[in-house]
Structure formats: structure tokens, C-alpha cells
Structure 1
Amino acid sequence: MGMHRIVKHREPQADTFTRPLSESVLPKWRIPEEMSDPRAAYEIVRDELALDGNASQNLATFCTTWSDTETRKLMDDAMSKNLVDKDEYPQTAAIESRCVHILGDLWHAPADADAMGCSTTGSSEAAMLAGLAMKWRWREAREKAGKPTDRPNLVCGPVQICWEKFARYFDVELRQVPLRADATGLEPDQLSDHVDENTIGVVAILGVTFTCAYEPVAQIAAALDAVEDKTGLDIPIHVDAASGGFVAPFLRPDLEWDFRVRRVASINSSGHKYGMAPLGVGWVVWRSQSLLPKGLVFHVDYLGGNVPTFALTFSRPGSQVIAQYFTLLRLGRHGYTEVQQACADTAQWLGRHIAQAGPFDMLYDGHGALPAVSYRLKDGYDRFSLYDLTDQLRMRGWQVPTYELPPDRENTVIQRILIRHGTSRDTAALLMDDIHRSIEQLTRPQPQHRGFHH
């Protein structure tokens, strides 16, 4: 009987996992020589991405991890739209402008002040634009007065790393005010010892990254009023409302933190955090056009029209901005209030149960600021560390961060849990079950292993 060689036929309807790409180790450092079937490439890349964590269990991130079908459809439709090309995509540009005006109104920009702003890739870029505007205004005033401009500083409390980046990238001294014992952020009476004639501004945080609390913007402004009365220094405030800018207007509408406070010159926020837009959109708004130095605005004419731009990036997708507008349109004030209240209620429920779990002291229990909780181990508790608890929870898929507070409280180790749109009460209850299970595991007496005897 003759020998017959089996030949694999690569038919169009062949199973995805019998195609050449599926039967080889994927290239990691060089582009492959040949093309591959798109279905096979999709499945292989999709399988690799399954090794990532489950976004819904990522309780460390402030960013949106859930979106509805309509948002995805709109973003697919707008995938080819370049936001910077306002001449080619005028309606996308108009939608961006609408969002800026909606946020200006939400943050109580004076009706006669001609507020202006723009979208960004996130709050980090937005913060840097606001910081640059403060630096340029300070420098122009110093030059006009014939004073040196080589030692600008920016005063803040415990801030997100984007402000450290701003200070390093743009040659500004960052004066971070030490965190006092039992404080959750910058306190107004600390300012007078840190500001001077070289201070370009003070950053107040509406939703401190480390503790989730709001810094008291109105009281910080009052402290700076006192500084001005004593020294003549008129120091502006920028509010980093990366998270709180889409929470406070709905849950604490009477809290004065925004443009109702005269000294607030600019505000940034993340649309992709509690603004509930998908990743990739932030916002910065100035009280008036006069607060954005003209030298920071560039005009380009090689996209089909004379286009002004003052973002740090250039070409970027318009789909995230469109998704933000859709979310504002779909939810409205009432919908945002309902969603943020549901998140706050779940955070407060979780805070009560964590406080009752035994070894924890609450730093922030979910009342009054972000829908979140932060806590530490009780003084003297040494049966396990919060790092141990993080490791235990990670085995079940939960990402709960453990970290030290900023100076002067760097010896205080805490955990933080964020509740976002899409985090249900049942999810919080499952997390609480795993916290109890982890505590039991970490405090259980370890069995004694005995050696074998012959």
C-alpha cells in the first residue's frame, strides 16, 4: 500500500485556530513578513488581552470602565474624525464648544465673563495647560513691573503626579504643603508660610487622589484674600477637579468651589472619570478669555482653514468628545444626580461595613465628597498589613491599592476604594465578602509542619 501525505488545505471557511498565525508563537520584536487572516489575528490578540485584569474589579482607578451600546456605536462612527481639523469636521468642533459652554455653566462661570476652554486627552494635559497659563500671566506681570522671572513657584497640598510633571517639564518650583496629622488635604491656614511674590498660583483639589476628600476652595480663597490684604499679592487659584468636577455640582450644588469663588481662575476635570465618558477626554475652562495668554494659542493653516489650537497634543480622535456630549445629553442634570447619588450610597454602605469589619479606621467614609472610601489599620494592629490584604484580594481579581500618604504623613499606609458608574451594590457586597474572607485567612493560625520520622 502506498504512503499518502496529508496536506492541510487552508480553505476560507477553515477553523480560526488551524490557520498559520494560530499555530505559531506571535512575533514580539519584528513585524511579520506575511499577512494574516484578520479573523485569526483578532482572536489571537483578543486571547492575549484576556490576560489583563477585569476592569469592573479595578477599584483603584477613577476612570470609567463601563459604557453603553449607543456610546460605542457613536465612537465607532466617529473613529476617523480628527478633532484638531475643525475646518473638515465643523460639527465635531461645534460639539466640543458646546461641552465647554455646558461645563462653564455647570461650574457657574459668570455670564458676562466670556468663559473659554477646550477638551484635552485627560486631566493631566488640562492641568498643564492651566499651569502654563498661570506661569505666563505671572511672568507678563513681573516683566511689566521690571522684576525677575526666573524663580516661579506653584503651591499645593497632596497632588496627583501630573502637577509634579508640570513643575519639572516647565521649570516651576512645586511647593507641596505637608499633610498635617488627621488632615485629608491642604488646609487654608498653611498657605501664608508658602506663598510669595514668585507664586504663580495655588492648586486646590476637589477630590484628593490619596484620600478622596475635597479641599475647602472657598476657605483657601479667603486665606489668599488675607495674604493680599497684608502683602498686596493677588494669587489666583486653579481648581483641579479631575474627579469632583462631575460630582460636586450634582451631589453638593450649594458647595462653593467653582467660579462662584472670585479667585478661581481656571478649572480642569476628567470627562473619562466621573464625567462617565470613555477613556481619552479631559476639560479645562478659564473664567474669561483674558486669563488665557494669547502667546499660548497657535494658528495653523495646513488643515484646510486657519485653525486655532492651544492643547499640548495635535491630532487626536474626536470620538471621545462626541461620547462626552452624548453622555451629557442622555443623562442631563437629573440623570447625573441619580447616578452619582447611587455611587455615593454604595460607597457609604461599603464604608459602614469596612468600619465594622474590625481592624480598620476610616479616613474617609464616602460622605460629602467623592463616591469612595479610604481607611487604614488601627494603631498597633500587627496581625497583617494592608499590603497583605491587597495581595489576598488580588487572588480574587480585585485591585485595591495600598500606599503611603504624602509628607508629613508618609508613615501612614492606607487603602482606597472607588465606586464608579457600573459598580453595583451587589458587586460591593461581593467585595465585602472577600474582605472578610481575606481577614480570616490572614489571621488564621498557620499549621505547624512536622518532619517525617523513620
Structure 2
Amino acid sequence: MLAGLAFKRKWRNKMKALGRPYHNPNIVTGANVQVCWEKFARYFEVELKEVKLRDGYYVMDPEKAVEMVDENTICVAAILGSTLNGEFEDVKRLNDLLIEKNKQTGWDTPIHVDAASGGFIAPFLYPELEWDFRLPLVKSINVSGHKYGLVYAGIGWVIWRSKEDLPDELIFHINYLGADQPTFTLNFSKGSSQVIAQYYQLIRLGYEGYKNIMENCQENAILLKEGLEKTGRFNIVSKDNGVPLVAFSLKDNSCHNEFEVSDMLRRFGWIVPAYTMPPDAQHVTVLRVVVREDFSRTLAERLVVDIQKVLHELDTLPARISAKLSVSDEKAENGVVVKKSDLEVQREITAVWKKFVMDRKKTNGVC
């Protein structure tokens, strides 16, 4: 949000100086963008222009993003490590395309990189990847220390390429604590424990320490992916190069879906989220496992075993399509046959399936 405010203020100042309208700013992102960007757009009245996803391509397409840029675009926000499947967006390609468009139009549209997760991964696993200030249009980068910075929740920061990229009018100066202290935040007083913890981790681990941890996370993610592939039941949606996570979907979800798998895994102590992709890939549902420092090889192997148990149990349950056939798709009102809405049919299907599961639990209970 702070980076967005800086871009908005700098764009507004430029438009005012040129004597042009400055009341309709917009920001270009992918539909896979983290919700914080939607909050920024809504709270600070900036139009959010989203590049839609498509089958097999679940990040922002640089070509389509640049096509959406106009003179009111305050910046293009690229994601280094999509929340949905961990994939890095092609910041280098975006930078090259945007440089060309800026030359043709006379604009100076910049780039922000949301490296909340990838900022602590790319430098250690992919040092040759160009996504940062090596690219001239990248003006600011944000990182979350509570993700792969290995600190508990509550710390993140944004850095700018130069002082000129952060308008001084957004910075407040206070001196009542004994010296001049510039501040640019949206939160008020809070504890410093996360800052101290991050400082400790940076000193304790250093470059080699973080590199070893990230390599280990990547190896365990690959192990988990290979284990899921061996079941023959899943498509892998995530990429090997990116955030160490595994996003996967059922090859055949006509009988049972990913939400059922997620729900039944909770019985084994696993919280594996299932969710649908954003537009225009909302028909794709995936499960996601994020591999962190404490997710060991043993846990990866155990998760695969528990997923296989869940699949075996689901295979013994009636398929959702069978439940659908058992629920009449029509109802009579005053002697007139009225077709039920999709929502009504779905609710009845869910009720039938839940009843079956509950009845089964009753018969399988310990006396």
C-alpha cells in the first residue's frame, strides 16, 4: 500500500504539472494479485485493471499487461511468487515491453515488484534471474519477513530505487523522541519484536544460511510433487522454479472434488487449502501445500500417504454425480413444474452427501 501511495502521488504531481486531469488513476496487475492490492485500489480510489488468467497460464501475461497501460496508469505491479501457484511473473519481459511502449508514447510508466515471498527466494536459488533494481523501470520492491524471511507474522517492508521515487510530501518528521525521525507508515504504535527477530535471523543465518534453507525447501517441494505424481491422480499446477510450494488438482473431479479432499485431510491433522483460480480460470480448482523450513522430508512423505488414504476413502463414497441424480432437478409449485436454480440443486446435493457421511460415521463409531 505504501508503494502504491508513492506511485499515485508521483503520478498526480506529474499530471498536475502538465495541466492534465489527475482524478482517474489506475494500476495494472494480474487477476492472481494478492488481496492487499485490491484493498489499496478500493481504499485509495485507484482503478484496478486486472489481466485475466487462462488455462495453463496462471500469472500475469506481460504482453496483455502492457496493452492495458494508458497515461493514467500509476504503475504495473508484478508478482514474484504468485499466492496461487508460487510462479514468478516475467518481470524482465514486462520491463522490456514497457520500455518500448514508454518510448512510443512519451509516458514513463514504472514497475513495482511484489516480492512478498519471492524476495527471500530468488536471491538464493535464482541469483541470475533479473527481477529487481537491475531493471531500470523497477522503482520499488516489497518483501514480507514473516514468509520466507523466517520471522513470525507482522513484518514486511518496501524499498525504493532512489529518494526521488518516494515523494517527500508523504514523509512526516518528528523530533519529540530526541532526534529527527522520518516516518512513512499506515500503522500506529506497535511492538518492535518482529524487527528484532528479523535482524537476528539476518545476522545468524547470513547469505549461506538462507541459501541452504531455501535449497532444502525446494528439494522437499520436489519430493512432495513427485510423490503426488506417482499416485496418478493429480495434475501439478505449480512450477519447479518459483516459491517452494506444490499446487495440484485432481485429474478426474467428476466424482469427488478438491474441496472434499481438503476437508477429509483435516482428520489427519493437515490444513491443505482448496480454492478456485481467479477469472478467467475460475473453473480450475487446486489444492496447495507451502513448503517452509520446518516441513521436512518425513512430513512430505507422510502427507502423500495421508492423501492416498483420503482418496481411497473417497472412492468408497457415493459420487457427487450420483447424489445429483438422486435429487430431483425440478419441483412443483401450485401444480406447475418449476426448474430449480443451480444454487438450490447444489445445496440439496451437499445435504445428501453430508447425510451419507454422517450416517456412515454413526455406524463406524466405537461403542
TM bin (shorter chain): 0.7 to 0.9
Residue among 308, 320, 326 paired with 2:194 = 320
Partner AA of 1:376 in structure 2: S
One-letter identity of the residue aligned with 1:141: K
Matched, 1:443 2:315: yes
Question: Matches of 2:272 and 2:63 in 1, distance apart?
Answer: 33
Match of 2:18 in 1: 145
Alignment partner, residue 382 of structure 1: 254
The more displaced of 252-261 and 184-193 is: 184-193
Alignment pair present for 1:404 and 2:315: no
For residues 206 and 317 of structure 2, the distance between their equivalents in structure 1, rounded to whole angstroms, comes to 54
Paired residue type of 2:270: W
Query: Retained in 2: the 8 A contact 1:189–1:223?
Result: yes
* Map 1:91-240 → 2, pairs under 5 A: 128-157=1-30, 158-240=32-114
The runs of 5 or more residues in structure 2 that have no matched partner are 319-359, 363-367
Question: Quick check: 1:299 aligned with 2:173?
Answer: yes
Compute the TM-score of the two structures, normalised by the length of structure 2: 0.85
Residues 54 and 280, structure 2, Cα contact 8 Å, conserved in 1: yes
Shift of residue 189 of structure 1?
1.1
Match of 2:124 in 1: 250
SS in 2 for 1:285: strand
* Deviation at residue 445 of structure 1 after TM alignment: 5.3
Q: Give the corresponding residue for 1:110.
A: none
Moved over 6 A (4+): none
Give the percent of matched residue pairs that are identical in Structure 1 and Structure 2: 46
Paired residue for 1:431? 303
Higher relative CO (Cα under 8 Å, sequence separation at least 6) belongs to: 1
The 8 Å contact of residues 191 and 223 in structure 1, kept in 2 or not, is answered as: no
Aligned equivalent of 1:395, options 267, 276, 282: 267
Q: Distance in 2 between matches of 1:339 and 1:419?
A: 11
Structure 2: how far apart are the matches of 1:385 and 1:420?
26
- 3-state DSSP of counterpart to 1:416: strand
Contact 2:227-2:301 at 8 Å conserved across structures: no
Deviation at 1:305, TM superposition (A): 3.3
1:325: how far off? 1.0
Q: Secondary structure at the match of 1:344?
A: helix
Question: Per-residue deviation at 1:319?
Answer: 1.6
Over the aligned positions, Cα root-mean-square deviation in angstroms equals 1.6
5 Å-filtered alignment, 1:20-35, equals: none
Give the Cα–Cα distance (whole angstroms) in 2 for the partners of residues 377 and 433 of structure 1: 16
Q: TM-score, normalised by structure 1?
A: 0.69
Partners of 2:188 and 2:50 in 1: CA distance:
31
1:184 & 1:349 partners in 2: Cα distance? Answer: 23
**What is the aligned length?**
320
Do the aligned partners of 2:66 and 2:94 also contact (CA within 8 Å) in 1?
no
Letter in 1 for 2:291: I
Q: Would you say the 8 A contact 1:191–1:224 is kept in 2?
A: no
Q: Which has the larger radius of gyration?
A: 1
Q: Which residue number corresponds to residue 262 of structure 1?
A: 136
Structure 1 spans left out of the alignment, 5+ residues: 1-127, 450-454
1:336 counterpart SS class: helix
Deviations 1:323-345 (A, max 9, x none): 11110111111110100000000
Measure the CA separation in 2 of the matches of 1:445 and 1:363. 26
Question: Is the CA contact 1:359–1:381 (under 8 Å) kept in the aligned structure 2?
Answer: no
Amino acid at match of 2:166: L
- Does the residue aligned with 1:356 lie in a helix, a strand or coil? helix
How far apart are residue 162 of structure 1 and its match?
Answer: 0.2
Read off the aligned partner of 1:139 and give its amino acid letter.
Answer: R
Please give the alpha-carbon distance, in whole angstroms, between the structure 1 residues aligned to 2:253 and 2:174: 61
